[in-house]
Structure 1
């Protein structure tokens, strides 16, 4: 795991669990926000994790418009966003609503792979709206990519965590399907956790199929 864990998980992360109930070739960036801001430390992309199941199809924990490989020990659950203000604040971001949360803690990391859907939106504007709604986001870079056999848009950015007084890396990709746009987002407690969880994210992206 690297360094010892001394950080305390922010209370907002614990509250989310109470309020959201379970039911190819790299191209040049298309747009960069804050071009004069320092870029995050670059690191080699890790090899994808081996799949230990799949998510999204019939009979899985989260019925989705897509399916993708699930990394070993990651635990998924469906999410239903409530109508109250606080629940909506945690479960809606820009045009997207959270529909599935995949917990990395059983695999030894602190963080989640979350799936969001947006109705009636193309992938690029939906993803842009998702990121614009993220407080304290900066160093935003979009690129065209592939998710399995589908065209996709991916974004990398940093978010300043005021509770921990540090910035951390985040990323997401979006694909369009006949049932709307799907956004798969990877955060993490901090940048180290985020990078350790990248193989599970890359597995989801490389194995994604439309249903």
Structure 2
């Protein structure tokens, strides 16, 4: 009788190999595209719209006589400071070496704060701004940088101050330019709080970008 052991073993071996191959196909790793989902980039926060110019402040016939002029944002109301040199009002009209000349009220435009214009009789824009900031309410996080205000060389500062009345810390900023006729002009933006300050930045940037010496 012929020996059938070898063919039967061969058939069994072939079946085993086939089963292993099928099992391996079922556990094949997922393609890289499926295993690692693509990264998505969060959309950038929208920029604040630029403020529209409604008037010019500082020139002849405007609300405040200043050594410079700049554009005012729509709705902002300027008013000259009366008798700013009077020592009786020094607590309100002086900050370090600076004398307040003009207040531009943001309330008609829907914000709570002021763009204030100060002058310093002599010195550089940097030294005038440093003296102004040192006289602020508990200034901290003070950062200066060289910049441009319109066509003029300028120094800008950002800082925080702490008000005793509100017991809150809020952002502040200002820029200063030295004018050809002598006085240094400081344009300062405060605000009721940091949120109001940031909401008014387009008006501040409009003033800075359109500053001209007179």
User: What stretches of structure 1 of length at least 5 have no aligned partner?
Assistant: 1-42
2:28 aligned residue: none
Greater percentage in helix: 2
Tell me, in whole angstroms, the C-alpha distance in 1 between the residues paired with 2:146 and 2:54.
28
Tell me, in whole angstroms, the C-alpha distance in 2 between the residues paired with 1:151 and 1:47.
25
What is the number of equivalent residue pairs in this alignment?
Answer: 168
Give me the TM-score of the superposition, normalised by structure 1: 0.76
Structure 1 residue 202 corresponds to structure 2 residue 214: no
Shift, 1:178, TM fit: 2.2
CA RMSD after TM alignment? 1.5
2:34 aligned residue: none
Greater percentage in strand: 1
Pick aligned residue for 1:135 from 115, 134, 137: 137
- 1:103-122 matched pairs, under 5 angstroms: 103-122=105-124
1:69 aligned residue: 71
Shift, 1:46, TM fit: 3.5
Pick aligned residue for 1:184 from 182, 187, 203: 187
Per-residue Cα deviation, 1:15-39 (whole angstroms, up to 9, x for no partner): xxxxxxxxxxxxxxxxxxxxxxxxx
Pick aligned residue for 1:149 from 151, 175, 178: 151
Tell me, in whole angstroms, the C-alpha distance in 2 between the residues paired with 1:172 and 1:84.
24
Structure 1 residue 89 corresponds to structure 2 residue 91: yes
2:10 aligned residue: none
Shift, 1:84, TM fit: 4.2
Give me the TM-score of the superposition, normalised by structure 2: 0.75
2:103 aligned residue: 101
Shift, 1:121, TM fit: 1.6
- SS in structure 1 opposite 2:60? coil
Per-residue Cα deviation, 1:79-105 (whole angstroms, up to 9, x for no partner): 1325244x1111001111000000000
Higher RCO (Cα < 8 Å, 6 or more apart): 1
Contact 2:137 2:163 in 1 (8 A): no
Tell me, in whole angstroms, the C-alpha distance in 1 between the residues paired with 2:46 and 2:86.
41
- SS in structure 1 opposite 2:64? coil
When Rg is computed on C-alpha atoms for both structures, the one with the higher figure is 2
